[in-house]
Structure 1
Amino acid sequence: MGGPGVPPRGRPEQGSPPVSAEPNPIDSADDPALVPVLPEAVRQRVVVLAATVLGGLPLDQVPASLRRVARFTPAKRAKLGGTGIAAALAGDPAFRQRVADKVADAGGELTIAVTAGTRPAAADPVEVGALAYLLRPDNWVDLVVGAADEVRTETDRVATEHRIKEAEQRADRAEQARAAAVAEHGRLRGEAEQARAELAELRAELRAVQKELRESQHRERRASEQAATEKGRLARAERDHQAELRRLNARLADAEAAAAATRAAGAQEHAFDDSRVWLLLETVRNAARGLVRELALDPVEVVPADFVAETADTPDRPRAGARALAADDPARLDQLLAMPRAHLVVDGYNVTKTGYGELSLEQQRNRLAASLGVLAAQTGAEVTCVWDGADPVHGIAPPPRGVRVLFSRKGEIADELIRRLVRAEPDGRVVVVVSSDKEVADGVRRHGAYPLSAHTLLRRLARG
C-alpha cells in the first residue's frame, strides 16, 4: 500500500539492479487496458467511498476539478460530483492512491482482507469490487472481475426472479380474466335468455295490439258506412223537403198570379178572387206550419257563427253578427255588407301585418278591433275577427259592440277556424272573408263565401 515516504508497491529498492523488461506494478495496475469495466453498482460504491474521504484530503492533494465539490457533504459530493470523482479516480493514479490510503486507514476486516488479496466468503461482492478497485492488491483485477461476475449473476438472478414473478402475476391475471370471462359469458347468456323471453312477450303484445287495431279499423269502417247511410237518408229527406217547398212556392206563385188576374177582372170578380187567394195563402201557411212541426224546428236565438265560436277561444263579451264577398274595390265590400244579415269574417293577423306590422301584437289587435267596431256600427253587419293563438290572450280590452273576437284552439290555426265559420253558415247567406292568403280565399270560395284581400278592408277602414 502506497503512502508518503513509502515506496510504491512493487517498485525496486535502491541498489537493486534495474529490471527494464518488467513494467512498474503501479503503472501496469493503472494501465487503462487492464482496468476491467465496472458494473454500475460497483462504480457507484467506488464514488461513495471516494466522496466520503474526499473532505479529509488536503486541498492541494485534491484535483482542481473536485476542489469545489470537496466542500460539500459526502452525500452531496456523491450526488453532484459523482461523474467528476469517477473520472479523477480513473485518470489520476496519485489521487486514487491517496483515496485508497484514506479508505485503508478507515477500513475494517474486509479492507484488510482485500488489501491482502483475499476475499471473505460472505463478503458483499459490490464492496469487495469497490475496495479492490481502489486498493489495487496484486490480484485486484481478478477480485474486481469476480465481484463483477457475482454482481451480474445476482442481477441476473434478481431479474430472473422478477421475470418469473411477473410471469406468475400475468398467469394469475390471465386466470382471473378467464374466470371473469366465464362469469361474463354466463351473465350474458342469462341476459340473452331474458331478452328472448322479453322479445316473445313483446311479440305477443304486438299481435294483441295488431288484432285490436284490426278490430278498431273494422268498427270504424262500419261506423263510416252507417254514417254514410244516415247522411244519404238525411239528404233524401232534405231533397223531399226542398221539393215540397218548391211545390208550395209554385202554388203560392199561382195564387199570386190568380190574385193579379182577379184584380184585373173587375170589381165584381175582385171579391171572389180575393177570397180564393186568401184561401190559397191560408192553405200554404198551414202547410208551412205543418212542415215546421214535422221537422220539429224550434225558434232560434243564435246565429250559426255562435256555434263555431263555442269551440274557439274567445274572451267574454256580447255576441254580434256578419257575412262575406270578394273584390279589391272597397265599394264592393260596402255592397256586400249592405246585403241583409251579411257576415264579415276577418283573418286578424293577415290584415294587421299587411297594414301596420311594425306595431306590437297587442297594439295590432286593439287597432283592428276598434276599426271593425266603427265598421259594424256603420253597416249593421255581423263582424267576426279571428286570431291565431292556442292560448287565450288575457288582459286585453273587450272588443267593441258588434265585433266577435275568436282565438284558434290548441292544434288549430286561424285559417281552419275561418273555414269552420264559413261551413257553418246556411246556403244563401252573404259571408265576406277578408284574407290575402290565397289558400284561405280558395277554400272559402268553394263554400259560397266572398273572399276579399286585406288591402280592400284596410282601404275601407281608412275611409272611416
Structure 2
Amino acid sequence: MTEAGTAASSAATSLPEPVRQRVLALAAQALGQLPASDIPAPLRRFASFAPAKRAKLSASVLGPILETDEHFRRLTAFQVRREHPELGDAVAEGVPVPAADPVEVAALAYLLRPEDWEQHIAAAAAQVPVEAPRAAEEAVNRLSDQLDQARTETRQVRERLREQVNELKAENVTLRRKLNEARQRISGLQSELEQRTTEAETADERVEAARAEVERELRKLRSRITELEAVEHAARRAAGQERELASTRTRLLLDTLVEAASGLRRELALPPGGELRPADTVAGTEPEAAPVGRTAPDDDPALFDELLSLPQVHLIIDGYNVTKTVWPNSPLHSQRQRLVTALGALVAQRRVEVTVVFDGAELSGPVQLNPPRGVRVRFSPAGVIADEVIRQLVRAEPPGRPVVVVSTDREVAESIITLGARSLSATTLISRIARS
C-alpha cells in the first residue's frame, strides 16, 4: 500500500461520527445520479432506492468502498461538487469559508481531497463533544445486563434439555424393545412372504400362459371377423353399385327410346294413329323418303349439331387430342382450362352430357382445374392411357344410347365404332365451339 493510501485509510477510519454520517449521506445522494456502469456491483441494487432509504441501507457497503475504490470516490466527489458548487469549489481550491459548518466542510474535504483535507477533518473532530467514556460505560452496563440475562436463559435451557434427554433415553429403551419385537415379526413375515411369492410366481406363470393362449385365439378370431366384414362390405358395395348402375342404364335407355320415338315421329311427320284423311284416298305416286342417317361428311358442323340434338346423347372428348390440335404451343394447364371453359358454354346451349378425358401419364402431381357445371373431367389412372378410359366410358353406356366420341386418333375411332358409338374429328368440335 502507498503512503497516500495508508494516510487515506487512517484518516477514513478515524473520521468523527458526524463527519462519517455526512460523508455517507452525500455519497448516497450522488449514487442515485451516477450511470449504472460507474457504480460498483455491490452498490447497484441500492441505486434505485429513495435517498433516505439508500443512505440507511447502503452505509455498511458504501463506507468501505469509498475508502478502497479511488475511482468511485472521485466520481462521487465530482457529483457532490455539482450538487454543492459554491462550498465545493471553495473547499477544493483551499479558500476558507468561516461561516460554513465544519462537519459539512470536513465531509466535502474527505471526498474532494484537497491538500489540507486532513486539517478540515481534524478541525471538525475538535468540535465534537467528548462523551465517549460515559457512552462506553453505559454500553458496558447494558451489555453486562444482557450477558446475565443470557446466562440465566442458558441455564434454564440447559435444564430443559437435560430433562428432554432423560425422556428421550427412556423412550429410546422402549423403542429398542419394540424394534426387536418388530424385527422378529418381520423375520417371520418375510419367510411367509417368500413362500407366498414363490406360489404367486408359479400361479402367474400359469395365468400368463393361459392369457397368451387366449390372446392368440382372440387375435385369430378378430382377424377372421375383419376379413369377413371386409368381404361383406365389398359384397354389399358391389351389389349396391350394380343395382344403381343397372337402374341408371335402364333409365337412360328408356329416356333415349322415348325421346327417340318422339323425335322420329316429329321427323317423319306421322299423323295420329287411327285418323284417315280424305286426301289419303286419292291414288298417286308417292316420293321415296330421304334416307335417315348421317349423309354429311364427318367434319361438317351441321352433322355435329344434328348429333347433339339426339335424345340423351353423351359427348366424350379426347382432351389432349383436341387441345394439342388447336393450341399446341400453350402450356398443358392452359390448354385444359380453355377447353373445359368452351365446353361449358356448349353445355349451357344444348344441355348435353359431356365427359372430357385427359391422359394422366403427363401429370407430375395433383391437378388444379375448375370445370364448369355440366362438364365431367377425368384423368387416366397410372399405367392406363386416355384411349382405354374412353373405351371404358363407351362400354359403360347401355346399348341404344347415342354416344359421340371426338378424337382424331384413328385407332380410337375404329375401336369405339365397333362398340356402337359415333366418331367425329377434333376440327368439327373446334368449329362448333368457335360459333358459340
TM norm. shorter chain > 0.5: no
TM-score of the aligned structures, taking structure 2 as reference length:
0.32
TM-score of the aligned structures, taking structure 1 as reference length:
0.30
